[in-house]
């Protein structure tokens, strides 16, 4: 079961403002990524379900985090059906993310009181997600819709919390655009944990870049 409650996971997402996400089939490399993020002050990470036996890799990473990085809130992304969600919940995922709105996944997560962040691309989808108990919705791919989409949605629905993912970078002007529009958090994938980290093993660079992104997010939201 999840180590961290739904309320705690949502609080960390709000507080940190940026969510690192990555996939790699090598669990030992993944542990180094986790440690680099933790050293940067990161207490939140999404492991994406994108390869064969991804659940086995996540199990190793989550066991490592529970022992060595106790405050790290570990979640799983690219979850597109209820059985997959149930599998990762059994392995201790503290939140679940998907690219689209899946009502079957929402029901499974609600039964276990685990946060579910579905991908939504219209006001109708966002409204339905909120009816299903989703506190934060994912805007994906963010680069297609842009900050103006969030600004327009939050006009009639200022209570809506949106996390853009896809095309978000760590650059000041990019993050400023999203947070100025009202984003609650920004998902950072290959723009943060790219080949320079996964191939070149530049974990020190990852720590520096994430630390700066977290500080930038906090400054922009003050």
The domains located in the chain, with CATH, are 6-220 (3.20.20.70)
The confidence score (pLDDT) of residue 222 equals 82
Assess whether pLDDT exceeds 90 at residue 14: yes
Beta-sheet pairing, 161-164 with 186-188:
unpaired
The confidence score (pLDDT) of residue 37 equals 98
Distance CA 219, CA 212 (A): 10
Contacts 24+ apart (CB under 8 A), 118-124: 121/145, 123/153, 123/156, 123/157
Query: What whole-number percentage of the chain has pLDDT above 90?
Result: 97
Q: For the whole model, what pTM was predicted?
A: 0.97
pLDDT in tens, 138-182: 999 999 999 999 999 999 999 999 999 998 999 999 999 999 999
Q: C-alpha angle with apex 137: 136 to 143, nearest 5 degrees?
A: 130
Beta-sheet pairing, 115-117 with 95-97:
parallel
1 falls in which pLDDT band (50, 70, 90)?
Answer: confident
Distance CA 154, CA 217 (A): 19
């Amino acid at each position: 079961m999840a180590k961290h409650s739904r309320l705690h996971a949502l609080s960390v997402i709000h507080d940190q403002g940026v969510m690192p996400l990555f996939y790699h089939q090598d669990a030992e490399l993944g542990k180094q990524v986790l440690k680099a993020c933790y050293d940067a002050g990161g207490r939140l990470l999404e492991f994406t379900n994108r390869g064969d036996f991804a659940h086995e890799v996540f199990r190793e990473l989550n066991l490592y985090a529970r022992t060595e990085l106790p405050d790290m809130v570990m979640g799983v992304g690219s979850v597109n059906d209820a059985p997959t969600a149930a599998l990762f919940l059994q392995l201790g995922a503290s939140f679940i993310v998907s690219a689209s709105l899946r009502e079957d996944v929402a029901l499974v997560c609600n039964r276990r009181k685990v946060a579910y962040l579905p991908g939504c691309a219209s006001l109708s989808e966002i409204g339905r997600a909120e009816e299903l108990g989703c506190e934060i919705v994912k805007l994906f791919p963010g680069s297609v819709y842009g900050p103006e989409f969030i600004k327009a949605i939050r006009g009639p629905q200022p209570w809506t919390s949106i996390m853009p993912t896809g095309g978000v970078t760590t650059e000041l002007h990019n993050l400023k655009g999203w947070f100025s529009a009202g984003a609650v958090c920004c998902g950072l994938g290959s723009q943060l944990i790219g080949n320079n980290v996964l191939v070149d093993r530049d974990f020190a660079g990852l720590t520096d870049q994430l630390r700066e992104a977290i500080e930038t997010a906090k400054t922009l939201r003050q």
